[in-house]
Structure 1
Amino acid sequence: MTGFPQLLHTVLDTTDVRGLAEFYRQLLGLQYRSGDEPGAEGFPDDVDWLVLTDAQGDRKLAFQQVQHLKRTTWPLPDVPMQMHLDLTVPDREALAHQHSRALALGAELLFDRTDDPNEPLFVYADPAGHPFCIFVG
């Protein structure tokens, strides 16, 4: 045997599969896997699993229905992050633009470290409460 397992996609739990998938679809410019689009024939509106891909069809994120999801309390330690997504932009101008977009799409600002001269960043919670960062990388 040779080789290593390959990462297929990252799965996020949510109480609103379509809503969270739509948030990340718009934020990251992704698309639904064929057949997962809203209103796809034979696909119910109350879905429990969706996949987003890039323009080449490579899986990037998936969303799984759960009945209850405890939001992180980060930076307080009561409910830790457990995992988060890191997203990069090329410069401060792009960071400011993506900050406005993230907020308009429903992200909640958790932390502003844009005064850092080496790695300015914002930390957000997505609509389900999952943390993610956007920083100049």
Structure 2
Amino acid sequence: MTEYPQLLQTVLDTTRPRELAEFYRRLLGFSYRPGDEPPQDNGCDEPHWLVLRDANGVARLAFQQVAELPRTTWPRHDIPMQAHLDCTVRDVDALHRQRARAESLGARLLLDRHDDAEEPLFVLADPSGHPFCIFVA
């Protein structure tokens, strides 16, 4: 029997880990790994590494601080996106609600294909510029 490595989590580089972790925490309903929660005193908090878990306590996303991060130029390929997250919703109404939620949290629209009969979707960029998709599954 072959033994395989197990995928633990997806790591996103960012110049501001707390801001990006908060964006995805609120967008996806995740929670911080114990010890990674924001400080209660509203003091300066820019950790180098943060982890978000799903409702079952499984690590899903981590955020790693980098000194600089050129934003992708997608759909042009001058600076490719290299990776992106796919998120699904049940119907077109939910698609529009989640686009509005994402934008209210700091995302910006990159591509609008909500009227595509085969795969309605939006491609958005998170606050650090990483593209992510929301589409009807």
TM-score bracket for this pair, using the shorter chain length: over 0.9
- 1:59 and 1:112 mapped to 2: Cα distance? 30
Letter in 2 for 1:107: A
Letter in 1 for 2:103: L
2:130 is matched with which residue?
A: 130
- SS of corresponding position for 2:22: helix
**Deviation for aligned residue 1:89:** 0.4
- 2:14 and 2:100 mapped to 1: Cα distance? 23
- 2:5 and 2:12 mapped to 1: Cα distance? 20
Letter in 2 for 1:36: D
Is 1:58 equivalent to 2:58 in the alignment? yes
- 1:95 and 1:84 mapped to 2: Cα distance? 18
Matched-pair identity in %: 66
- 1:23 and 1:12 mapped to 2: Cα distance? 12
**Deviation for aligned residue 1:2:** 3.3
- 1:35 and 1:16 mapped to 2: Cα distance? 18
CA RMSD of aligned residues (A): 1.5
Q: How many residues in Structure 1 have an aligned counterpart in Structure 2?
A: 135
**Deviation for aligned residue 1:129:** 0.4
Dislocated runs of 4+, deviation >6 Å:
none
- 1:45 and 1:128 mapped to 2: Cα distance? 17
2:45 is matched with which residue?
A: 45
Gaps of 5+ in 1: none
Matches within 5 A, 1:1-137: 2-39=2-39, 45-137=45-137
TM-score by length of 2: 0.95
TM-score by length of 1: 0.95
Gaps of 5+ in 2: none
- 2:130 and 2:90 mapped to 1: Cα distance? 23
